[in-house]
Structure formats: C-alpha cells, structure tokens
Amino acid sequence: MRPFGTRHSGPGARRRVGLPGAVLALVAINLLVEACLAGADAGWWGSPAWRTLAYHNGAFWGGLLDNWRPNYPLQPATMFATYAFLHAGLGHLAGNMLVLLILGGIVARRAGQGGFVVIYLASAVLGGAAFAVLSDSPQPMVGASGALFGLAGAWKAWELDELRAAGLSRWPVWRDIAALAALNVIFWYLLGGVLAWQTHLGGFLGGALVSTIIGPRHIRPCPGD
C-alpha cells in the first residue's frame, strides 16, 4: 500500500507533495473555532461572552465526573472530545497547529488518513481520561496537545518496533521520549504549574497503544528512491 500523497504511475514517476486532507481539515476546524471566539472577544461579531460559553459547555471539567451538574445531559461524555477543539487564545492555537501540521503529516502518511483520525481522536479521549484520573484541578482544561502527544506516541512506537525488527539500538527513540518528558517539566515550571501534563501523558500512551492496532503502511519505494 502507498501513503497518501504518493503516486506511482511508472518508472521515474514523481512523488506528489502536500499535506493529507484530514490534517488540513482538523487544522481548519481548530482555526475556525478560535477565529469565531477571537472575533467575538474583539467585538467584531457576536458577544464577548462567547468564549466563556464555549468553555462552560465544551472544555474538560473534572468536576463533571464527580458531583457537578452538567449544562446538558451528554456534557460529561462529549467533553472528552470537545476540549481538544478549544484553545486559550491565538498563541496557544498557533503552537498546537504548527505541531499538528508536522506530526499529522508524518502519522497520516504512515497510517493513512482514516488511521490518523482514529489515533488523533482516541488520543484526545485518553488524554482527557488521564487528566480526570490524575488531576484534581477545578479549572477547565482545553487544547489539542493531548491529541498531538498521541500522534508523537504513535510515531515513536512505530519507530521502536522498526528498530527492534531491524536489530538496531532503540536508544535514539528513548532519547526523544526523554526529551519530550523534559520539555513538559520545563514548561510546567515556566508556566507556574498551569500545564495539563496529565493530558500529555495520557495522550502519548494512548497514541502508542492505538498504534499497535493501526500499524504503519509498508511502502514499496519507487525505482531510484
């Protein structure tokens, strides 16, 4: 099977360059949501209350799994996905979308667009689950980083498996994972503890787990590759 974005029509065929549509679609959805809220914040349309309403109804609230009263019956379930499409502002969104463009392309080309979407959404859900179990914060949690760490987890899990199968050292991958953990510690300190590391951990492990079910496609290179 071939990865999305690769087309072989014969010897010497050139590889098509471009990001998978599923990645671009997720970026567009996130941009649209934040654009609506940022425009409302600025008074260009709607009401400045839109962001508050979005957080109240779509953010991840740990208390809803305890004794808090939800705004609507399905909120304790839907928040496991909706939180990943809300952000704390344009800076938060920009950083996450840059990472999505990079990691999304890597994972989608290895697992296909359907596999990419499954890994992304499953990682978001499992990231939320880890936050629910490991955090007692009463504050809302938003952002796509749990899903993004899941993409990283899937990528690194595949690399570990490939190195093991080839009989090569897996140290480079463990080094990358240690660097991700160190970055979490650094940002947690710089942000004064306002970092949902629990979501990052759950997303990473969730992506790695799902990647064992959705394995990477095996690519046959073009002649001359």
Out of 135, 137, 169, 200, the active site residue is 200
Concatenate the DSSP letters of all residues of 8-40 into one string.
Answer: --STTPPPP----HHHHHHHHHHHHHHHHHHHH
pLDDT at position 162 is 94
Q: Which pTM does this prediction carry? A: 0.87
pLDDT at position 193 is 83
pLDDT at position 101 is 97
pLDDT at position 77 is 97
pLDDT at position 17 is 55
Residue whose C-alpha is closest to residue 124's, from 72, 68, 78? 78
Out of 56, 145, 169, 218, the active site residue is 145
Those residues whose C-beta lies under 8 Å from the C-beta of residue 169, and which sit 6 or more positions away, are 163
pLDDT at position 223 is 38
Cβ-based neighbour number of residue 76 at 10 Å: 17
Is 87 part of the annotated catalytic residue set?
A: no
pLDDT at position 80 is 98
pLDDT at position 216 is 75
Is 145 part of the annotated catalytic residue set?
A: yes
Taking 50 as the pLDDT cut, the residues of the chain under it are 1-15, 218-225
